[in-house]
């Protein structure tokens, strides 16, 4: 939290120094030169620096290849006016599917060449190529189809590629070290269209298993499996979507949730011939939480409309998917409306058939995106119109419209980015190509609907209590337990969460009034118990409170007897530290300086437990 707060403050100070983002939707921010035939635009933000990277593709001397531009938080281009060109030789003259992601202090782009091989090129923020200007070959030379790439948590990346039958996965360290590849294949089916979902130190791969049905359809299932960085499968293959006969061009999408699992969605007409988008979910162990093998339809199916062109985000608090999609009439596909809906990880739809974002006005809509806001509770839907404008609408988590903003009102044709940067430090970015006259443009949109100078919101205060301490008390055979105390944070929370773990390992949560700084817990059990304490605010829960010794817990041994007794122990049965750790000692003289709970036998043959201070 402290590191994030410092970055918020640093970015806020940069806003006052130099502003590049244009606050006029009729001009927008020019970020690079390119010809008007460029396409396939991607955006990604480095959350460690606030820099963003925009990648686009154009026919160069080495084929249909990528260019990349780096923007700082204020939208100022930091690389040459034409961007940096990926010069790896022998690209195809058509798009084979590219991928890119920002990493700590740079960007990694993954692609296939005419070879066909998959390559990865890394460009550091200073424009250098730490893996070589042409990059490195992935998957031991196998592959040749579409690509995926996902930033790891240590500066490396997960790379994924496919050929006609199999999917390949490989982790690349920040220094370019290649880990062993994993191959996902089935001798009876094609395993393709893999999508990556992070899972702590591992990764989930969501992929299709399919067989050809006729000339243009596939019998398709969607599965998930988990792998570690050495290509070892750590979560078994699990069915997410059951068998459907769908068009060969229909693919699935996946996004991570906030708990280590993910949502998967796909568009098809395999259920009763009705075109709709369906959603399912799996948890941090790769286990489906929506048990219907068909998934959940985003909208009540009807033969008169298609529900398609979906794009999704996840609300980090509720872990619900927020999915925006296009409704278009089946007859002419010219009457467009945009909806957004909310689906829980168990498949419930609290908004029913969703909320209409844009009604039919004679315009067509495209390039729909939706992103959860990092700074406040809510989300933003962005979309393009047939008049050339780019619009944004902000909502709270109850689906109430908060604001509408026109991000771009220019009428020229636009090739809008396939994705958005997502909200980081209070702002999101959409990029596009001027398809009439050339040029790469971008525009930011703030958490509050502003464009141009976006001031990051003040970081959320989430301080924990301090000086957390506890001791055993004994009043009588029926009145004994634990006394706890702490120092309140400067801003009082809504309440404290006191996490109690009993001797069997079962943990329960006790809610404590925010005005209290002590707590007595009367016991009816014997053994070592552990407490951890947090402060709960409106927007967050703090880290665990620390003891004066720097521990994030207090462990106390409950004996149900007075701490002191007149009888002496002559034979030791067991010794525990005051924190409940077993000590290997049979003689008190073997103990170092400290406080211990000793169980032993007295001269009279009685078994007692007493506190001993050495």
Q: For the residues 152-165, what does the mean pLDDT come to? A: 94
Q: For the residues 37-50, what does the mean pLDDT come to? A: 95
User: Is omega for the bond preceding 407 within 30 degrees of 0, making it cis?
Assistant: no
* Closest to 147 measured CA to CA, from 179, 99, 180: 99
The mean-pLDDT minimum among 117-126, 241-250, 423-432, 555-564 falls in 555-564
Q: What angle do CA 579, 584, 587 make, to 5 degrees?
A: 105
* Closest to 336 measured CA to CA, from 296, 316, 309, 318: 309
| pLDDT at res. 560 | 61
Give CA–CA dist 442/379, Å, rounded. 20
CATH number at residue 473: 2.60.40.10
Give CA–CA dist 451/454, Å, rounded. 7
| pLDDT at res. 599 | 74
As beta bridge partners, residue 107 has 102, 123
Residues 39 and 146 in one domain: yes
| pLDDT at res. 15 | 41
Q: For the residues 331-345, what does the mean pLDDT come to? A: 97
Residues 59 and 158 in one domain: yes
Q: Is the pLDDT of residue 389 over 70?
A: yes
Residues 59 and 153 in one domain: yes
| pLDDT at res. 561 | 61
pTM for this entry: 0.79
| pLDDT at res. 445 | 98
Q: Is the pLDDT of residue 391 over 90?
A: yes
The separation between the first and the last C-alpha atoms of the chain, rounded to the nearest angstrom, is: 40
Domain end: 511, 536, 558, which one? 558
> What Cα–Cα distance (Å) separates residue 225 from each residue in 194, 202, 592?
10, 11, 50
Residue 605 neighbours by CB under 8 Å, 6+ apart: none
* Mean pLDDT value across the chain: 91
Q: What percent of the chain has pLDDT over 70?
A: 93
Other C-beta atoms closer than 10 Å to the C-beta of 65 total: 22
Is 499 among the domain residues? yes
Instruction: Report DSSP letters for 319-350, one per residue.
Output: --EEEEEEEEETTTS--EEEEEEEE-TTS--T
Is 218 among the domain residues? no
Structure-block tokens of residue 419:
């994705």
Residues 41 and 154 in one domain: yes
As beta bridge partners, residue 337 has 327
| pLDDT at res. 2 | 34
Give CA–CA dist 484/236, Å, rounded. 44
Residue with the larger pLDDT of the pair 345 and 95 = 345
Q: Which domain holds residue 589?
A: 569-613
| pLDDT at res. 438 | 95
Residues 45 and 140 in one domain: yes
Residue 478 neighbours by CB under 8 Å, 6+ apart: none
Tell me how many domains the chain contains. Answer: 3
Q: Is the pLDDT of residue 13 over 50?
A: no
Is 520 among the domain residues? yes
Q: Is the pLDDT of residue 209 over 90?
A: yes
Q: For the residues 7-19, what does the mean pLDDT come to? A: 43
Is 99 among the domain residues? yes
CATH number at residue 107: 2.120.10.70
Q: Is the pLDDT of residue 10 over 70?
A: no
Give residue for tokens 């329960």: 508
| pLDDT at res. 12 | 45
> What Cα–Cα distance (Å) separates residue 381 from each residue in 75, 121, 329, 431, 445?
21, 32, 21, 15, 11
| pLDDT at res. 487 | 96
Residues 592 and 526 in one domain: no
């Amino acid at each position: 939290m402290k590191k994030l707060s410092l970055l918020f403050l640093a970015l806020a100070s940069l806003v006052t120094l130099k502003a590049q983002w244009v606050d006029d939707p009729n001009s927008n921010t020019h970020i690079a030169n390119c010809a008007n035939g460029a396409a396939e635009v991607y955006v990604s933000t480095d959350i460690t620096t606030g820099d963003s990277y925009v990648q686009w593709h154009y026919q160069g001397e080495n084929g249909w290849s990528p260019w990349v531009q780096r923007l700082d938080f204020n939208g100022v281009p930091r690389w040459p006016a034409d961007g940096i060109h990926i010069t790896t030789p022998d690209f195809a003259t058509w798009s084979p599917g590219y991928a890119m992601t920002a990493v700590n202090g740079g960007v990694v782009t993954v692609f296939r060449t005419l070879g066909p091989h998959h390559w990865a090129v890394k460009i550091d923020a200073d424009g250098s190529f730490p893996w070589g200007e042409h990059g490195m070959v992935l998957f031991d030379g196998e592959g040749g189809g579409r690509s995926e790439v996902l930033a790891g948590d240590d500066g490396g990346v997960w790379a994924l590629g496919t050929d006609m039958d199999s999917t390949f996965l490989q982790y690349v360290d920040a220094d370019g070290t290649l880990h062993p590849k994993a191959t996902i294949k089935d001798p009876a089916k094609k395993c393709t269209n893999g999508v990556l979902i992070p899972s702590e130190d591992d990764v989930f791969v969501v992929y299709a298993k399919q067989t050809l049905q006729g000339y243009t359809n596939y019998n398709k299932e969607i599965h998930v499996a988990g792998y570690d960085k050495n290509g070892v499968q750590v979560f078994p293959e699990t069915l997410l979507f059951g068998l459907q006969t769908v068009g060969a061009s229909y693919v699935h999408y996946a996004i991570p949730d906030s708990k280590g699992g993910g949502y998967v969605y796909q568009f098809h007409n395999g259920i009763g011939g009705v075109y709709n988008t369906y959603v399912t979910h799996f948890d941090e162990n790769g286990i489906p939480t929506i048990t219907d093998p068909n998934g959940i339809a985003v909208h009540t199916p009807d033969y008169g409309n298609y529900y398609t062109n979906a794009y999704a985000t996840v609300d980090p608090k509720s872990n619900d998917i927020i999915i925006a999609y296009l409704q278009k009439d089946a007859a002419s596909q010219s009457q467009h409306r945009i909806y957004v809906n909310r689906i829980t990880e168990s498949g419930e739809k609290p908004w029913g058939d969703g909320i209409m974002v844009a009604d039919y006005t004679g315009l067509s809509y495209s390039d729909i995106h939706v992103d959860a806001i990092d700074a406040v509770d809510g989300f933003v839907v962005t979309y393009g119109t047939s008049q050339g404008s780019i619009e944004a609408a902000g909502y709270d988590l109850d689906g109430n419209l908060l604001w509408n903003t026109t991000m771009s009102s220019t009428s020229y044709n636009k090739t809008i980015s396939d994705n958005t940067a997502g909200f980081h430090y209070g702002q999101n970015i959409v990029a596009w190509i001027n398809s009439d006259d050339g040029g790469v443009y971008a525009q930011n949109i703030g958490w509050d609907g502003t464009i141009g100078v976006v001031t990051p919101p003040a970081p959320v205060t989430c301080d924990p209590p301090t000086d957390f301490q506890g001791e055993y008390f004994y009043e009588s055979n029926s009145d004994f337990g634990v006394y706890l105390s702490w120092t309140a944070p400067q801003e009082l929370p809504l309440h404290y969460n006191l996490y109690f773990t009993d001797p069997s390992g079962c943990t329960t949560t006790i809610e404590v009034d925010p005005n209290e700084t002590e707590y007595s817990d009367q016991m009816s059990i014997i053994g070592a118990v552990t407490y951890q304490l947090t402060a709960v605010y409106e927007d967050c829960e703090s880290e665990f409170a620390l003891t004066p010794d720097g521990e994030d817990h207090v462990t106390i041994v409950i004996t149900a007897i007075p701490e002191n007794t007149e009888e002496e122990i002559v034979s030791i049965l067991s010794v525990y530290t005051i924190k409940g750790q077993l000590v290997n000692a049979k003689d008190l003289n073997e103990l170092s300086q400290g406080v211990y709970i000793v169980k032993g036998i007295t001269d009279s043959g009685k078994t007692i437990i007493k506190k001993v201070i050495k």
